[in-house]
Amino acid sequence: MIVVMQQRATEEEISQVIEKLLKLGFDPYRSTGASLSIIAGVGNCFVDVREIEMMAGVRKVIRVSTPYKLASREIHPTDTTFAIGNGEFKIGAGYFSVFAGPAAIESEVELEALCDLVKNFGTGVLRSRATLQLEDGRIVGLGKDSWKLLRKYADRFQLYAASEVNYPEELSQAAEYLDVIEISASHNHEFLRQIGMLGKPTLLVRAPETTIEQTLISAEQILSAGNDRVIICDRAVRTVQGGSTIDIDSILKLKKISHLPLALDASAAANRKDRVAAYAAAALVAGVDVLLIELYSESGTGEAARALAAEDFAVLITQLKGIAKILGRQNICM
């Protein structure tokens, strides 16, 4: 870390910064220039730069190393690839897969119909959220009770089960029923570390309005708990016009900074079915390894406006397989 002092910083203010850096575990290296002083803090220490920025006489603080070492390519330069379940289903470099299913499960009949679809198109992972808030404000889905159904049908159709966890008290049940844990990156670090301790493949969803850096710091919590099977999942960002769109640039940046596999929740990002295919294809070209797609069945009360019906899903999967092939993703896990 480099601390640039203000031009008129006093000797006492400089001393206070040196003392603070020492206290934090850094070795301070001071350099007095013609008009301002610079203090370099050398050492492998975690620090909230705001603590230094707020000190008297400090002009700015420049962080040299990242606060998300385990998630970054600094110590892990090559793409991470890992397996779900018994080892055949791979996520990461060279592979491309789709997690599909109802946005939220409301009935067994609906789930059964959609499992057929997921199995027929070979997407491998049956995914559903615990609950979903519809456009009209209603909240649908069976919550954690849907996990049992997911497990039952995943086993029956030889699929893997993925769903979201929202509360720490649900963790042991989640571990029992799910193969992939979906979690928002906005949860507190303690909860994220507990998720990491489960040791399950984890889909870490970037919350709206959070930066790439904040998302990677959340990933760091899971990784530091000893779980290296983390997928970072991007969603939509707000546009200036008040709408939402996918942030292709953030996908490219994340790929460059981090070795972790990337996903895009295409249905949540598009929020209407006529955009899902374009978003999914664009994200695949940009480099995502996994796409999340919501499916709709007549018997469900989910959103027909957002989730894909069987025919649309069939067309999309065929297109995606074609694109993946052109991109040289030879091992398409679908």
Partner 1 sequence: MDIDDWREEIDRIDLELLELLNRRSRCAIEIGYIKHRMGLPIYSPSRETEILENVTRNNRGPLENDAVRRLFERIIDESRRAERLVVESLKENSSDSSDAAEGN
* Structure tokens belonging to residue 75: 């110590």
Q: Closest distance between partner 1 and the C-beta of residue 123, in Å?
A: 54
What is the pairing mode between strands 230-234 and 202-205? parallel
* Structure tokens belonging to residue 314: 């069939």
Q: Quick one: which of 157, 100, 164 has its CA closest to 133?
A: 164
Query: Quick check: 30 binds partner 1 (CB under 8 A)?
Result: yes
Query: Quick check: 32 binds partner 1 (CB under 8 A)?
Result: yes
Instruction: Count residues near partner 1 (CB under 8 A).
Output: 13
* Structure tokens belonging to residue 172: 């042991």
Q: Which residues sit opposite 293 in a β-bridge? A: 100
Give 136-144's long-range contacts (Cβ < 8 A, gap of 24+). 140/104, 140/106, 140/301, 140/302, 141/103, 141/104, 141/105, 141/106, 142/104, 142/105, 142/106, 144/170, 144/173, 144/174
Q: Is residue 154 a contact partner of residue 163, using CB atoms and an 8 Å limit?
A: no
Query: Quick check: 46 binds partner 1 (CB under 8 A)?
Result: no
Query: Quick check: 28 binds partner 1 (CB under 8 A)?
Result: yes
Binding residue for partner 1, selected from 10, 29, 278, 318, defined by CB under 8 A: 29
Specify the residue, 32 or 239, whose C-beta has the smaller distance to partner 1: 32
Q: Of 15-23, 134-142, 203-211, 236-244, which part binds partner 1 (CB under 8 A)?
A: 15-23
Specify the residue, 28 or 102, whose C-beta has the smaller distance to partner 1: 28
Q: How far is the CA of 231 from the CAs of 61, 124, 170, in angstroms?
A: 31, 16, 21
Q: Of 16-24, 168-176, 234-242, 279-287, which part binds partner 1 (CB under 8 A)?
A: 16-24
Specify the residue, 38 or 93, whose C-beta has the smaller distance to partner 1: 38
Specify the residue, 35 or 241, whose C-beta has the smaller distance to partner 1: 35
Query: Quick check: 31 binds partner 1 (CB under 8 A)?
Result: yes
Q: Of 21-29, 44-52, 58-66, 248-256, which part binds partner 1 (CB under 8 A)?
A: 21-29
Query: In residues, how long is the chain?
Result: 334
Query: Quick check: 44 binds partner 1 (CB under 8 A)?
Result: no
Q: Closest distance between partner 1 and the C-beta of residue 16, in Å?
A: 9
Cα–Cα distance for residue pair 233/72, rounded to 1 Å:
16
Q: Is residue 45 a contact partner of residue 1, using CB atoms and an 8 Å limit?
A: no
Q: Give the N- to C-terminal CA distance of the chain in Å, as an integer.
A: 45
Q: Of 8-16, 222-230, 275-283, 302-310, which part binds partner 1 (CB under 8 A)?
A: 8-16
Q: Closest distance between partner 1 and the C-beta of residue 247, in Å?
A: 43
Binding residue for partner 1, selected from 7, 15, 211, 331, defined by CB under 8 A: 15
* Structure tokens belonging to residue 299: 């018997």
Q: Quick one: which of 47, 43, 25, 68 has its CA closest to 224?
A: 68
- Residue that the structure tokens 């497990």 belong to: 151
Query: Quick check: 18 binds partner 1 (CB under 8 A)?
Result: yes
Query: Quick check: 19 binds partner 1 (CB under 8 A)?
Result: yes
Cα–Cα distance for residue pair 318/17, rounded to 1 Å:
60
Specify the residue, 18 or 309, whose C-beta has the smaller distance to partner 1: 18
Q: Closest distance between partner 1 and the C-beta of residue 18, in Å?
A: 6
Binding site for partner 1 (CB under 8 A): 11-12, 15, 18-19, 22, 27-32, 34
